[in-house]
Amino acid sequence: MSRTLVRDLSAHVGERVTVYGWVNTSRLQRKMQFIVVRDHTGMVQVTNKRTEPASEVEETFERVPTESAVKVTGTVVANPIVKLGGVELVPDAVEVVNAAVSPLPINDQTGIDQRLDWRFLDIRHPARQLIFQVQTTVEAAMREFAYGEGATELHTPKFMGTASESGAEVFKVKYFDRNAYLAQSPQFYKQMAISGGIDKVFEIGPVFRAEPSFTSRHATEFISIDVELAWIDGVEDVMSFEERMLAHVLAAVAEKHGEEIRELLGAEVVVPELPFPRIPMREAIELLTDQGWKPEKVKGDLDPEGERSISALVKERFGHEFVFITEFPAGVRPFYHMRAEGNPDVTESFDLLWKGIEITTGAQREHRYDVLVKQAEEKGMDLEPLSSYTNSFRFGTPPHGGLGAGLSRILMVMLGLDSIRETTFLFRGPNRLEP
């Protein structure tokens, strides 16, 4: 018999249907068997009365282990005292399509590391399923917005011939008789697309970072959302694109999943007001210093504590979850960020913080070949491996700027989770390449 989804059962009261799913729990009483079957749309109670002699259904339910894949056929009965949707299924046939081994290697008390070892079992939990449904909505809404702005979907190569760009550590690949490197961002390639006359570039794809970071916000492989916009008047155009995109995304998520996110994850999805507050780095540092903040490491930048504090301050003063920190000093930004006119110590760049966590870096890029080369030299870059990049600025590259954002971070902050390990399907870190 063809499948009926659990969420549709209440429309089939009195009918005989088949549900496909997993045994979520089974409560075997003396006179009754209560089996909860779960599919990707919900859970239903299967209520089976024991008989003398025992029916085939009863015998199957008696021994079927939790998390086995089953098909249960029966009649949908309205029962207001049943919590799961007010209906139950009275079975007349059950097929164990694929039995699970018992006991299961993880349960509700298992820690994150062992959960990741058994990630396919872990994500069967409805709260985890929800994360990837939200991810789907997030990406769909981003694309809807980007397409509406005239963006072109692009796929830049992950193999690079040279280990270039920002000096971030890159992974080396044996590539026939030479080496290749894995792209730590599509930065150079999306700029080439701008030089190629593509007006607005949009890409969602993996990037690779070889830093041995073990924080809750870092991975060796993650999904980057990349945007690059041609013919901008300034970095403000890039920030405007991003804040409008995120407001669009959050409105879509709130509408489609808001209630379920509240219920299963205890998080509130707030659709932000536009524009987001903007605070120049200089002012941010002054504000924080007044509060007694002392940066841990780099002068002119915010450390994670600084990011949390400035977000808290913005939340308090403006009631806003987001803040653009702008005008980063040139010393902490890559050579290709454009400098402010008349103030070469400051870049036309920004980070976007959301509830204290950096989710985006963006900037207007330097599109003038001579200035770009000068800035690279000042940073002590080796120009030779950069030549195929710098050469692309010699043939009429328009002014442009863009941003890169981490998908798993956005989901982590949105859903109030404490690590990107939770929002990545199969996490990859220095110590984790499995499953």
- Binder among 9, 35, 94, 193 for a copy of itself (CB under 8 A): 193
CB of 313 to a copy of itself, least distance (A): 34
Using rule CB under 8 A, residue 116 touches a copy of itself? no
Which of residues 208 and 335 has its CB atom nearest to a copy of itself in the complex?
Answer: 208
CB of 171 to a copy of itself, least distance (A): 5
Which of residues 181 and 335 has its CB atom nearest to a copy of itself in the complex?
Answer: 181
- Binder among 6, 35, 38, 386 for a copy of itself (CB under 8 A): 38
CB of 245 to a copy of itself, least distance (A): 16
Q: CA of 266: how far to CAs of 259, 260, 322, in Å?
A: 10, 9, 20
- Binder among 82, 90, 104, 264 for a copy of itself (CB under 8 A): 104
d(CA 425, CA 240): 30
CB of 332 to a copy of itself, least distance (A): 27
- Binder among 209, 257, 355, 367 for a copy of itself (CB under 8 A): 367
Query: Are the C-beta atoms of residues 227 and 200 closer than 8 Å to each other?
Result: yes
Find where tokens 């690279």 sit: 376
d(CA 127, CA 197): 43
Closest to 45 in 3D by CA, of 55, 56, 60, 34 = 34
CB of 236 to a copy of itself, least distance (A): 14
Using rule CB under 8 A, residue 130 touches a copy of itself? no
Which of residues 86 and 398 has its CB atom nearest to a copy of itself in the complex?
Answer: 398
Strands (E), 254-391: 278-280, 322-326, 339-340, 343-347, 349-354, 357-365
Element containing residue 55 per DSSP (H, E): none
CB of 170 to a copy of itself, least distance (A): 10
Stretch that binds a copy of itself, among 67-75, 257-265, 284-292, 305-313 (CB under 8 A): 67-75
Strands (E), 303-348: 322-326, 339-340, 343-347
CB of 349 to a copy of itself, least distance (A): 20
- Binder among 73, 75, 79, 133 for a copy of itself (CB under 8 A): 133
Query: Are the C-beta atoms of residues 90 and 57 closer than 8 Å to each other?
Result: no
Using rule CB under 8 A, residue 231 touches a copy of itself? yes
C-alpha R_g of the chain: 27
Query: Are the C-beta atoms of residues 117 and 165 closer than 8 Å to each other?
Result: no
Using rule CB under 8 A, residue 132 touches a copy of itself? yes
d(CA 427, CA 435): 9
Q: How many CA atoms lie within 13 A of 218 on its CB side?
A: 13
Query: Are the C-beta atoms of residues 367 and 397 closer than 8 Å to each other?
Result: yes
- Binder among 197, 266, 304, 416 for a copy of itself (CB under 8 A): 197
Stretch that binds a copy of itself, among 66-74, 254-262, 344-352, 411-419 (CB under 8 A): 66-74
Total residues in contact with a copy of itself, by rule CB under 8 A = 89
Find where tokens 């956005």 sit: 410
Query: Looking only at residues 136 through 175 of this chain, which bind a copy of itself when binding is defined by CB under 8 A?
Result: 136, 139-140, 143, 147, 150-161, 171-175
Tokens of 232: 């901008």
Residue 233, C-beta contacts closer than 8 angstroms, at least 6 positions apart: 399
Which of residues 80 and 103 has its CB atom nearest to a copy of itself in the complex?
Answer: 103
| Known binding-site positions | 165, 209-211, 358, 361, 365, 406-409
Q: x/- binding map, residues 369-408, to a copy of itself, per CB under 8 A?
A: -------------------xx--xxxxxxxx-------x-
d(CA 25, CA 11): 24
| Known binding-site positions for ATP | 209-211, 358, 406-409
Query: Looking only at residues 18 through 37 of this chain, which bind a copy of itself when binding is defined by CB under 8 A?
Result: 20, 22-23
Other CB atoms within 10 A of residue 240 CB:
15
- Binder among 6, 223, 252, 420 for a copy of itself (CB under 8 A): 223
Using rule CB under 8 A, residue 86 touches a copy of itself? no
Backbone angles phi and psi of 66, in degrees to 5: -55, 145
Q: How many CA atoms lie within 13 A of 206 on its CB side?
A: 13
Which of residues 170 and 281 has its CB atom nearest to a copy of itself in the complex?
Answer: 170
| Known binding-site positions for L-aspartate | 165, 209, 361, 365
